[in-house]
Amino acid sequence: MNQAGNYITEEKRQALLAELKDLKGPKRKELLEALAYAKSLGDLSENAEYHQAREEQGKLEARIAKIEQILQDSETVKGGGGDIIEIGSKVVVQKDGTKETKNYVIVGSEEASMAEGKISNKSPFGKALFNKKKGDEVSFKTPGGVVNYKIVNVS
């Protein structure tokens, strides 16, 4: 697996497809109705409802384009479950000098969320972990200096 590639998990793919279906269907229809209503109010140059609806339409179309681009450019992976860290791998790490362990999942950049413990394969930490295995030690540079971790488990 190429570490620099754009990846999404099957779960993220399904979520994006569902969002795209909603945006292209009910949301787009709702927005077109709002736009038609705003147009019916008259003088478009001073029609705040019309300008608001056009702005919302622009945001909607931009999000649709973004999702379609992600789906087109990203490779869907099942990932995880092996001994080597790749997209989808669940990793337990222990920071040097501590007994506390932390759990992370390696995901593509579109899914990354520190709050959920999802680390991007393109982040410094993700790059350091990629293609490593249980027992390996990794280090990477942070604004506060170099940080060292030991990989406790990979699944």
For 136-145, how does the pLDDT look when each residue is reduced to its tens digit (9 = 90+)?
A: 999 999 898 9
Please determine, for residue 153, whether its predicted confidence score (pLDDT) is greater than 90: yes
Assess contact for 80 and 155: CB atoms under 8 A: yes
**Angle, CA of 137, 148 and 80, to the nearest 5°:** 50
Cβ-proximal residues to 40 (8 Å cutoff; 6+ apart), any chain: none
Instruction: Please state the separation of Cα 70 from the chain's center in Å.
Output: 10
Class of domain 79-154: alpha beta
* Residues 54, 58: Cα–Cα separation, whole Å: 6
pLDDT 10s digits, 67-95 = 999 999 988 887 666 889 988 899 999 99
Q: Same topology for domains 7-76 and 79-154, yes or no? A: no
Rounded to an integer, the average pLDDT of 1-13 is: 77
- Measured at the CA of 79, the angle between CA 78 and CA 81, to 5 degrees, comes to 120
3-state secondary structure of 14: helix
Q: pTM of this prediction?
A: 0.74
152: which residues sit within 8 A by CB, 6+ positions away? 92, 93, 94, 101, 134
Give kind and range of the element (H or E) at residue 34: helix 28-40
Residue extents of the structural domains in the chain? 7-76, 79-154
Q: Name the residue among 143, 155, 147 with its Cα closest to residue 128.
A: 147
Provide the CATH topology of domain 7-76: Helix Hairpins (1.10.287)
Q: Specify which of 32-36, 40-44, 58-62, 85-89 reaches the highest per-range mean pLDDT.
A: 58-62
